[in-house]
A and B are shown apart, each in its own frame.
Chain A
Amino acid sequence: MILRTTLLAGVALACLATTGTAQTLRWGAARDINSLDPYSYGSTFTISFLNHVYEGLVRYDADLKIEPALATEWEVMPNNIWRFKLRQGVKFHDGAEFTADDVVASLARVSHPDSPLKGNLPAYKSATKVDDYTVDIELVGTYPLLLNDLTNIHMFDAGWLKEHNAEVPTDVAKKVEGYPTFNANGTGPFIVESRVPDSKTILVANTGWWDAPKHNLERIEFTPISSEATRVAALLSGEIDFTEKAPVQDLPRLAAAPNVKVMEGNELRTIMFGFNFQDKLHNGEPNLFKDKKMREAVGLAIDLNLIRDKVMRGKSRVTGTVVAPAIPGYDPALDTPPAYDPEKAAAMIKELGAEGYAFEIMCSNDLWVNEEEICNALVSMLTRVGLAPRLNIAPNAVQQVKLTNGEADMFAFGWANEPMLDSYSILLQTFQTKSDNAGVFNWGGWSYPEMDKLIIAASTELDREKRLALQSAALKIVKDESIMLPFHQQPMAWATSDKVESVVQLSDNKGRHWLTRMAE
């Protein structure tokens, strides 16, 4: 009798031990990725998804520190050359070996003049193969943040690129579809099994991955569900197992549901509003935002706490500076938002003769959390102090063109400082005067020579303390001049079904399902 129960128990245990493998994670995302080519769009979301398929030379670990990935060691050599030793025995999904040729070809592709990701490798000059497993990367000058940049530059197989005519980034004009747009061949923990745009992308586990998997997934089914109500319904009915953007207003209901778990936090991304610094507004009227007092008045007219409480349901973190506390260069002395004072704002606006001033606020309805609501609240608050703003809202793909052409009078903006994870990122790409490699996101066209000097000095300062001090000084200018009005760090809310045992959520809000475990 006892023997039989023990035998049965043993068999049962044995069964349990082997049934851990057929695990599918059904991911219901807020939007689709733009393509399977990690170089085709500078979208953090797309690149972070493709990180399941492709990998870079280095990566971030669970504490957001840099660790080796496809490169095992590196050293800084004279003449601004960094030498990387590559990991051996790594195979691409099609079986090809990972060698230095692949690194050279990938870097050439990402730094190509037509590449949308060109600005993510600002200091890059060239790459040369030393031997099959050693590569030299030459920079234009001393540059402390190369490794941070490289975490987001994913490696292609040189032979695969050549075979499919993809050595140059996709060219829509030639009517040749970019092969990497819907085919993938990386070194990562998952292989793309199929992709139907706007419908479903299926990944399967790569059993030949070079790293020891901490996950127990066999498949990931990625489905974009843009309608928030549908996404919530799918979670509640158990049709999806994971979403990276659970709507803020539904969090209490999701948390109360017995089969759903909610993981909240504040992410690194700071939401702010920027101004047009050109002489005229988009409609041809003179631009009053060039005056610092005008920008200050707008800042005083906004009740940030009310937006946090009502629009963000208390989940955001109000901020007075444009970077999150975890970002190097953050200065707590700067993190003091202006006190809400609508009477003073109205008085200042009257003084400036700006009563009834008509301008446009440009926002997207599918980018930041509750962006539409924030912008609506903004319109209401600014109208109350005597201005006459109008909201221009559309999907980000439509707004993007107008924003980069400087057509917005006042615009919503978000920056997480990824992948660099350093305030140099926002200073270089947003606040520096627009030039060849700098100020790519300087949509308002501002220019502050003293700030530029600080930023350029920081770009070549190898001493971390000194560099961060220079960057904090630059950030102080941003605050004093009210170039952008920071609002808050966005809340991030992931929701999982009860089939998911554990998921790793870091403040960069990126899904890392090679660390996810499903319940067995």
Chain B
Amino acid sequence: MIVFLIKRLANAALVMLVVALMAFMIFRFVGDPIQLMVNEQTSQAERDALRERLGLNESVVMQYLRFVGNAVQGDFGISYRNQQEVMSLIAERFPATIELVLMATIISLVVGVPLGVITAIHRRKWYSEALQFVSIIGVSLPSFVIGILLILVFSVMLNIAPAFGRGDVVSIGWWTTGLLTPSGRAALILPSIALSFYQITLVMRLVRAEMLEVLRSDFIKFARARGVPAWRVHYSHALRNCLMPVVTMTAMNIGSLIAFALITETVFQWPGMGLLFIQAVTFVDIPVMAAYLCIVSFIFVALNTLVDITYALIDPRLRNSKA
């Protein structure tokens, strides 16, 4: 067991090192950092001194090691654009993205699971087919289109939800939350719905597929033969067996959602990490780009590793497989 744990963690560490390498390569190869930092009237001597000070004359390996060392301590340098420390910029926006993602995940589960059950149980009914059709549309529409349409209908035409921003937020220590104010909660509605769309269809389809499989299994047949009422068969017996894969998939998709949130944040001007990243890309603000890459990858890797380890704890068969 311990061996497995160590293997998984070592794996995760290796992945992070490679990601850090990629982030570091961005620094070196895209544009000249000196060029991007000084104004045009700086003399050549000053530029050389700056180059020396930032350690750009050292070997690549040294620079990489220094980058990793700094990154682990959370020091990603200063944003070229705002002249503010990158880590504090990201820390400011982190709560916004996380709240959005959590909300979207909850919505996707609350809506997706029941819908999945319905489409599985009532396979041939018209509303089942209709729901499936709608789910395909949901997967086919790009999320920015969904966002724009939501704004058009609910914000401009019906005026029942705000179209941008986060509303009033309350600071609890380092975290800022919009959940404690009415305007904050109202502002969460449209963006989280837009972000959850794709996830809802995924959950729905997964639940449906799993339910269909479970409903064929023997113990369900026996339960029916014994006269257990249908609803009990479906919910107590069948559904419970489906939830595991759903929870797993959802947990692993949180990292993906964080990444996809950047589209939603762009449409709704939600002040999260994703919007920061997109702005960094358009402004070629490399420290922010590199930091975002490292942080989001870290979350992704951490979540996957956690899920893997949890699975292994539950299912001993998985412990001895190749990591």
- Measured CB to CB, the residues of A under 8 A from B are 34-35, 40, 113-114, 116, 118, 170, 172-175, 177-178, 181-182, 196-200, 223, 225-227, 229-230, 233-234, 236-239, 394-395, 397-398, 401, 404-405
Instruction: Write the chain A residue with the least CB distance to B272.
Output: A199
Option from B89, B166, B283 in Cβ contact (under 8 Å) with A398: B283
- Measured CB to CB, the residues of B under 8 A from A are 35-42, 50, 53-54, 77-78, 80-85, 89, 92-93, 148, 151-152, 155-156, 159, 162-166, 266-269, 271, 275-276, 279, 282-284
Q: Which A residues touch B85, using CB under 8 A?
A: 177
Check if B50 sits within 8 Å of A178, measured CB to CB. no
Given the interface contacts A196-B92, A227-B267, does A237 sit within 8 Å of B78 by beta carbon?
A: no
Check if A223 sits within 8 Å of B165, measured CB to CB. yes
Q: Which A residues touch B275, using CB under 8 A?
A: 198
Q: Which B residues touch A404, using CB under 8 A?
A: 40
Complex Cα distance, B86 from A177, in Å, reads: 11
Check if A181 sits within 8 Å of B77, measured CB to CB. no
Instruction: Write the chain B residue with the least CB distance to A395.
Output: B282
Q: Which A residues touch B283, using CB under 8 A?
A: 395, 397-398
Name the residue among B82, B85, B165, B275 with the largest chain A CB count within 10 angstroms: B165
Check if A198 sits within 8 Å of B83, measured CB to CB. no
15 A–B contact pairs at CB < 8 A? A114-B39, A170-B83, A172-B80, A172-B83, A181-B84, A198-B82, A200-B271, A223-B164, A230-B267, A233-B155, A234-B162, A237-B159, A239-B162, A398-B282, A398-B284
Check if B77 sits within 8 Å of A175, measured CB to CB. yes
Check if B165 sits within 8 Å of A178, measured CB to CB. no
- 9 closest A-B pairs by CB: A199-B271, A233-B163, A397-B283, A404-B40, A173-B50, A197-B82, A230-B164, A395-B282, A233-B156
Given the interface contacts A234-B163, A234-B164, A394-B282, does A172 sit within 8 Å of B156 by beta carbon?
A: no
Q: How far is the CB of A354 from chain B (nearest CB, A)?
A: 31
Q: How far is the CB of A29 from chain B (nearest CB, A)?
A: 12
Q: Which B residues touch A182, using CB under 8 A?
A: 84
- Interface SS of A by simple majority: loop
Q: Which B residues touch A172, using CB under 8 A?
A: 37-38, 78, 80, 83
Instruction: Write the chain A residue with the least CB distance to B282.
Output: A395
Q: Which A residues touch B151, using CB under 8 A?
A: 229-230, 233
Complex Cα distance, B53 from A199, in Å, reads: 32
Complex Cα distance, B80 from A116, in Å, reads: 15
Given the interface contacts A198-B271, A198-B275, does A397 sit within 8 Å of B81 by beta carbon?
A: yes
Instruction: Write the chain A residue with the least CB distance to B96.
Output: A199
Option from B53, B162, B269 in Cβ contact (under 8 Å) with A173: B53
Complex Cα distance, B301 from A346, in Å, reads: 60
Name the residue among B38, B39, B271 with the largest chain A CB count within 10 angstroms: B39
Check if A177 sits within 8 Å of B159, measured CB to CB. no
Instruction: Write the chain B residue with the least CB distance to A224.
Output: B269
Instruction: Write the chain A residue with the least CB distance to B162.
Output: A239
Q: How far is the CB of B18 from chain A (nearest CB, A)?
A: 27
Name the residue among B78, B152, B268 with the largest chain A CB count within 10 angstroms: B78
Check if B269 sits within 8 Å of A35, measured CB to CB. no
Q: Which B residues touch A200, using CB under 8 A?
A: 165, 271
Complex Cα distance, B248 from A437, in Å, reads: 64
Check if A178 sits within 8 Å of B83, measured CB to CB. yes
Complex Cα distance, B40 from A118, in Å, reads: 12
13 new A-B contacts, CB < 8 A, other than A199-B92, A226-B269, A234-B162, are A34-B82, A114-B39, A116-B39, A172-B80, A173-B54, A174-B53, A175-B77, A198-B279, A223-B164, A227-B266, A237-B156, A237-B159, A395-B282
Check if B37 sits within 8 Å of A239, measured CB to CB. no
Given the interface contacts A197-B84, A237-B159, does A225 sit within 8 Å of B40 by beta carbon?
A: no
Q: Which A residues touch B89, using CB under 8 A?
A: 197
Complex Cα distance, B85 from A172, in Å, reads: 10
Complex Cα distance, B268 from A234, in Å, reads: 11
Complex Cα distance, B123 from A417, in Å, reads: 71
Check if A177 sits within 8 Å of B84, measured CB to CB. yes
